Structure 1
């Protein structure tokens, strides 16, 4: 048995998307892969969890600087030891990301095998998925094939691309050579393909040896090799993460793996999978993953539905009761700072709302009232021209940066736990029901020395209250150095 035959599969999780089609729950500042959309785990956690077992090594994650701590924390929450985390300076689509992962893994293991998966898909049948991966692994090891996974369609879907197979699947899950990729069809074409039986949905999940995919890039997309390789060679280690070099990454073309390599490759096989799958690419898709009531409607959160049919009603604010009366084929999603109401037939057009909101300068287009940080999170409770009130939660053992402000002073009231507060030369412990004043210009820091989350109310007053009014002197998360949020 060769070394390649004993090498475990490395899951490569692509985790940098913005998920605008599930606005207002999914936004650029905290996209859908980190949200509990369909169960107790986030989509990212579910993705990582289904690629565990004897077949698999530790995962490699590709993400951006904003999400690097979220990635590690969510893996640790479900008991998965985080493997390498590669930070892309900017999103350049899937081809450069996958090439970077392959080059990085091959450097330490020439026989590395990658299973590449988006972080925001739903695959309910984990055992069936493992069976499909095992079949794909045979084609990779014995035949040197590039493998993708095709989903058996159950409807004439127009929102997915398709894979045309050289023969009709016989239900065994055996890898079949690919005839060609098919772009998203219209309804009539999708119906015809469904009837023919040799077309599958393109899941965007791939399995291949690092050496084979790198060879495919050399043949079909050679212009990507040099800048991606240099970005790896000049990468910088940062608190356990690997930051790809931003200067060389600027020269990397923005292109998908399908366009760069897969549509040109002749050694590509497809493993059919019938165990259920969704990319949760619209609220309509989210609705299909839940169990409807007797009227065909799906509700989530504090919702009251009266005579509503074939509708999705979802409230993500615990103190906001959503009431629907006499609705039909309607989508309603309520957040503390935004509400979406649409005809269900227009679910794919939600991204148009994000574009319109960005054009008018609405912060809800990309940001939440709750803002996640490496040390915890905060949410704005009240905001006016010269004051702002926040609720701040700091994780056990975490600390905000040592910082000062040029335009505002702050008053902190601890409501849960204990804070260690630095204010210029003074360090003090502030317990529940106690407060401390931070004058304008004072060099200060807030830490949680305890074992439970620390919660405080912050009252800011001043002429300017923007988040960019921060001068950082020290930071556990090196945001001053890299200008991260």
Structure 2
């Protein structure tokens, strides 16, 4: 196992699209969403110990979740859990973590991954990531894992590749990126699928620590200078005070907007290992075992009558009887019950906002 290979797992999100199961005090990445006896974070950590040494795996999360991370991963060194004082999206967490890793190992090559994704073919995933680490170690390259699209999906961003990939990389799986496109409408997604030039943006990245810090210096100089001022304090007792002040002043921006859409040295590692960001109840439905009526049922005492193609999830101590539903989401968690047609799932964020306005944070 290569001592210069590192992994950064991002585990600071709140997962509001999985409300009411995912709540601010214990969001999606810390839940056993798939019903396998492990949280998504635990599954992600177990995946990456096959790629890099355990001591080279870092978890970056909001400081309010640090204790949950340590509880769910008791084997991890607490120094490998990076706590953010504020939520500022993914670019600040990447540059902060990169500086900490750079101070330990200036030759580090890092795979950056969300904590809550679904990977079907683990073996193929590991093979591709190792291939990406090798490429990033030998090239000034920002690599993103692109997923071969299976349908005209409007919920994902897209990556367009340049033609003639081999002439750029001499590797059939790694191609030069032409453009990034945010979530398209259905008509545009259909055109992307038909063209064969586009891949889903997985949000999984690979780069050397030098390359990503150079990219911040070039494309986000304000953010770069803010964090570079702390080079002497990273991994010391003075780090916490410095980071608190830095986060209060830094821009809230994603790594895609900050770096990937601006940089010229971006490559896509074309992948087909069975991936989902598990970003919605519908995506969970697609990757869950169903009964003879197409229902995904998780919970204790649930009786269904004339109910089909639905997601039903309840606490174990509740008796729930449902009659006559088709294509619905029914989720009971604690004192909250959500009933919503599957095709209107995008409204859940609106529901959460409305609940917060009426009740403040009591049910969020």
Same fold (TM over 0.5): yes
- Pair 1:347 & 2:345 matched: yes
Q: Structure 1 residue 144: deviation in Å?
A: 2.3
Q: 2:258 and 2:291 mapped to 1: Cα distance?
A: 44
C-alpha distance in structure 1 between counterparts of 2:339 and 2:231, whole Å: 45
- Report the equivalent of 1:11: 7
Report how far residue 248 of structure 1 moved. Answer: 2.4
Residue in 1 that maps onto 2:175: 176
Give the distance between the partners of 1:212 and 1:300, measured in 2 at CA. 45
Pairing of 1:2-401 with structure 2 (within 5 A):
6-38=2-34, 39-53=36-50, 55-58=52-55, 59-76=57-74, 79=75, 84-167=80-163, 174-230=173-229, 233-234=232-233, 245-302=243-300, 303-315=302-314, 317-366=315-364
Aligned CA distance change for structure 1 residues 47 and 16 (closer, same or farther; 3 Å): same
Contact 1:314 1:322 in 2 (8 A): no
For residues 249 and 362 of structure 1, do their structure 2 counterparts lie closer, same or farther at Cα, with a shift above 3 Å needed?
A: closer
Residue 247 of structure 1, CA deviation: 1.6
1:365 is paired with a residue whose SS is: coil
Relative distance call for 1:141 and 1:307 in structure 2 (3 A) is: same
- How far is the alpha carbon of 1:250 from its aligned partner? 1.1
Q: Secondary structure at the match of 1:21?
A: helix
Once residues 240 and 123 of structure 2 are traced to their aligned partners in structure 1, the CA distance between those partners, rounded to angstroms, is: 32
Deviations 1:364-422 (A, max 9, x none): 432xxxxxxxxxxxxxxxxxxxxxxxxxxxxxxxxxxxxxxxxxxxxxxxxxxxxxxxx
Count of aligned pairs between the two proteins: 356
Relative to 1, partners in 2 of residues 1:358 and 1:168: Cα closer, same or farther, differing over 3 Å?
farther
Q: TM-score of the superposition, structure 2-length normalised?
A: 0.92
2-side partners of 1:221 and 1:341: how far apart? 43
Does structure 1 conserve the Cα–Cα contact (< 8 Å) formed by 2:51 and 2:126? no
What is the deviation of 1:336? 2.0
Give 1:460-479 correspondences, 5 Å limit.
none
TM-score calculated relative to the size of structure 1 = 0.70
- Determine the C-alpha separation between the residues in 2 that align with 1:179 and 1:112: 27
Distance in 1 between the 2:3 and 2:214 partners?
19
In the TM superposition, residue 321 of structure 1 has moved relative to its aligned partner by 1.7
Matches of 1:136 and 1:356, distance apart in 2: 43
Contact 2:165 2:176 in 1 (8 A): no
Identify if the C-alpha distance between structure 1 residues 83 and 272 changes in structure 2 by more than 3 Å, giving closer, same or farther: farther
State the SS of the aligned residue for 1:86: strand
The answer as to whether partners of 1:20 and 1:354 remain within 8 angstroms in 2 is yes
Judged with a 3 Å threshold, the aligned counterparts in structure 2 of structure 1 residues 142 and 293 are, in CA distance, closer, same or farther, namely same
Query: 1:56-112: CA deviations, max 9, x gaps?
Result: 453111112211111112112xx5556511111101111111011111111121101
Instruction: Structure 2: give runs of 5+ residues left out of the alignment.
Output: none
Equivalent residues of 1:357, 1:365 under 8 A apart: yes
Per-residue CA deviation, residues 161-220 of structure 1 (Å, 9 max, x unaligned), is: 0111113889x9611111110110111111121122221110111010000100111111
More strand per residue: 1
Rate the CA distance shift 1:305–1:352 in 2: closer, same or farther, 3 A: same
Cα-to-partner distance string for 1:2-26 (whole Å, 9 max, x where unaligned): xxx9543211011111111000000
Distance 1:162 1:11 in 2: 24
**SS of aligned partner of 2:225:** helix
Give, in whole Å, the separation in 2 of the partners of 1:117 and 1:128: 16
**How far apart are 1:50 and its partner, in Å?**
0.6
Deviation at 1:296, TM superposition (A): 1.6
Shift in Å, 1:143: 2.1
- Taking structure 1 as reference, are residues 89 and 350 closer, same or farther at Cα in structure 2, changes over 3 Å only? same
- Work out whether residues 110 and 133 of structure 2, in 8 Å CA contact, stay in contact via their aligned partners in 1: no
1:153–1:243 CA distance, 2 compared to 1 (3 A): farther
Q: Which has the larger radius of gyration?
A: 1
Post-superposition offset of 1:53? 2.2
Unpaired runs of at least 5, structure 1: 367-485
More displaced stretch, 226-235 vs 8-17: 226-235
Distance 1:320 1:362 in 2: 26
Contact kept in structure 2, 1:11 and 1:56, CA below 8 Å = no
Contact 1:11 1:51 in 2 (8 A): yes
Alpha carbons 2:3, 2:53 under 8 Å: kept? no
Higher relative contact order (CA 8 A, sep 6+): 2
Partners of 2:83 and 2:307 lie apart in 1 by 45
